[in-house]
Structure 1
Amino acid sequence: MLSRGPELYREYCERPIGAHSPNLQFVLQHFRKAPCAGKYVLVAVVPHRRWRLAKLTGRRGDPVRVEDEVEYTDLADAERHVYRLRWKALCGEELETS
């Protein structure tokens, strides 16, 4: 599956939200099942307009740790960035963005 990482990422980039191939669904399920501590998420700063990158603490009730320097105005770009971060956390390698 690691060797297919760039191919799956390209598929995700084309359609970050919606139906995905079985292989991409498999990867996304693993992203979702990963332990919460340290997992990257998006926080809406202005609903439907601006989002910030944040990390979960893994402890129920604790606030997320917002990374103030990373903000997005395009949800699809934000989702793609989180995909790359979660891929690196899960697989230990970075994905090429081009």
Structure 2
Amino acid sequence: MLVNDPEAAHWPVDPTRLDLVEEFRRAPRGPHSDALQKLLHRMRWSGVGRRHVLVVLEPNRRWMLARMPATRGAPIETFPNRVFTSLAEAEWAVFVLRWEALTGVPLQDEKPSP
């Protein structure tokens, strides 16, 4: 769900809010609490760490991790060694990278809960 709160892009991320991490891990596609929606909005739209994204290799079958370029119009950086056959695993990998970029605190890059 899209957050239309203009302050969400500046929402302070508290690295101790591991409850939000677990909420995302349990239900990466939602529904999400208000706090998790704000966190995801911040992760998706902050320029911190050159955002990681997913590139669709085969619709609904395979995704590759990539990173947006620092300069608009430059090619994205792809990571061919990080290909996923589960969208939940792919989204979890991106969440982990974005969390660390925003908080400076690494999460264990484990597979999401079923």
Q: Fold conserved (TM > 0.5)?
A: yes
The CA RMSD over aligned residues, in Å, is: 1.7
The unaligned stretches of length 5 or more in structure 2 are 1-13
**Aligned with residue 2 of structure 1, among 6, 10, 15:** 15
User: In the alignment, what sits opposite 2:96?
Assistant: 84
Flag the structure with higher helix content. 1
Q: Return the alpha-carbon distance in structure 2 between the equivalents of residues 18 and 93 of structure 1.
A: 24
User: In the alignment, what sits opposite 2:27?
Assistant: 15
- 1:37–1:57 Cα contact (<8 Å) kept: no
- 1:45–1:52 Cα contact (<8 Å) kept: yes
| TM-score of the pair, normalised by structure 1 | 0.88
User: Could you say what secondary structure the match of 2:88 adopts?
Assistant: helix
Q: Return the alpha-carbon distance in structure 2 between the equivalents of residues 3 and 36 of structure 1.
A: 19
The unaligned stretches of length 5 or more in structure 1 are none
- Which one-letter code corresponds to 1:3 in the other structure? T
State yes or no: 1:38 paired with 2:59.
no
Give the superposition deviation at 1:88. 0.2
Query: Runs of at least 4 residues of structure 1 off by over 6 A?
Result: none
- Which one-letter code corresponds to 1:67 in the other structure? F
- In the comparison of the two structures, how many residue pairs are matched? 97
- Which one-letter code corresponds to 1:60 in the other structure? R
- 1:12–1:24 Cα contact (<8 Å) kept: yes
| TM-score of the pair, normalised by structure 2 | 0.77
Q: Share of identical aligned residues, percent?
A: 37
Give the superposition deviation at 1:29. 1.3
Give the superposition deviation at 1:28. 0.7
